[in-house]
Amino acid sequence: MSNVAPFKRPSLKKKAKEKTMCSHGFHKWKVVTKNQFDTRSGKLVTAYRCQRCGKTKNKAH
C-alpha cells in the first residue's frame, strides 16, 4: 500500500475570513515592501497585496 498523507480540513473561521469580505470587494490592502517602487511610462508605481486573499494591484501616482 502507498503512504497516505493525513488530511486536515481548514477551520470554518479561517475559510470565512478569507472569502467573505474580499468576495464583496472589501480587501485589506497593504503595500508590498519587497519591490516597493517600479516605474511605468515615467510614473511611480506602488504594488499592493490583500492580506486576506493575496490578490495584488498596482497604483500609479
Q: Is 22 helix (H, G, I), strand (E, B) or coil?
A: helix
pLDDT at residue 60, as a whole number: 79
Q: Is 41 helix (H, G, I), strand (E, B) or coil?
A: coil
Q: How far is CA 23 from CA 8, 18, 40, 52, in A?
A: 24, 9, 29, 11
pLDDT at residue 14, as a whole number: 74
What distance in Å separates the CA atoms of residue 49 and residue 57, rounded to the nearest whole number?
A: 6
- Given a cut of 70, whether residue 52 has pLDDT beyond it is yes
Proportion of the chain above pLDDT 90, given as a percent: 16
Contacts 24+ apart (CB under 8 A), 27-31: 27/52, 27/53, 27/55, 28/52, 29/57
Please give the average per-residue pLDDT across 5-21, as a whole number: 76
